[in-house]
Amino acid sequence: MLRRMYDWCVAAAYKPFATWILGIVSFLESSVFPVPPDVMLVPMALARPEKAYSYAFICTWTSVAGGVLGYAIGALLYDSVGQWLIALYGYGDKVEAFREAYAQYGMWIILLKGLTPIPYKIVTITSGFAGYDIWLFILFSIITRAGRFYMLAFLLHRYGAKAREIIEERLGFWVTLGAIVLVAGIVAALYLF
């Protein structure tokens, strides 16, 4: 199944609809979808390293746009969705302390967590919930998402042929490692954030 999904993403890199799907996944991941755009970005950039930077551009801007949706969920839907999420992450009794900490360290939270495997939707929703300045949120989101996606694009563009060979040789291992890193990021978000 992993091989079929990987092969589909590689083949999709040559189709006109691929960038649309990549953009949609990147947009939704920043607000509601659990799968990061890297799942498509990496195989597509490996298939077409010359387009790695344009893929990074698409991921950056659609991720920031999706982040604004996540911010709106946190800011406007706190009474329904927001309270449920805060309770889910164990912050129900720490709401005010959390808002104060976010007001003081929000910039660093957005910049650092946007680069990590912690799902970005956690950052976007909590930014809205905490009432962080929307324009600063957008600015820091652009910085951190561009940093993440363009660094990945640089590596895939520069080492694409060798990386593709290594990944395809041991696809199961790399997918498992990626899943472990993602789960570790979620656990870290739950217990350290």
One DSSP character per residue, 153-177 reads HHHHHHHHHHHHHHHHHTHHHHHHH
Half-sphere exposure of 189 (CA within 13 A, CB side): 26
* Per-residue pLDDT of the chain in tens (193 residues, 90 and over written 9): 556 665 666 677 778 888 898 999 899 988 877 777 887 888 888 888 888 899 999 999 999 999 999 999 889 987 777 677 667 656 666 666 767 777 888 888 888 777 766 678 878 888 898 889 999 999 999 999 999 899 889 888 887 666 666 665 665 665 666 666 656 665 665 565 4
**CB-based contacts of 54, cutoff 8 Å, min separation 6:** 19
Half-sphere exposure of 145 (CA within 13 A, CB side): 32
**Residue 70 near residue 125 (C-beta atoms within 8 A):** yes
Q: pLDDT value at position 64?
A: 96
Cα angle 140, 98, 128 (rounded to 5 degrees) comes to 45
Q: pLDDT value at position 176?
A: 66
Q: pLDDT value at position 85?
A: 62
Q: pLDDT value at position 140?
A: 94
Q: pLDDT value at position 167?
A: 62
Q: pLDDT value at position 68?
A: 96
| Angle of helix 120-129 versus helix 52-76 axis, rounded to 10 | 40
Where are the domains positioned within the chain? Answer: 2-192
Two structure tokens written together for 105: 């360290």
The DSSP call for residue 36 is: -
The pTM assigned to this predicted structure is 0.76
CA neighbor of 110 nearest in space, from 138, 152, 73: 138
Q: pLDDT value at position 72?
A: 93
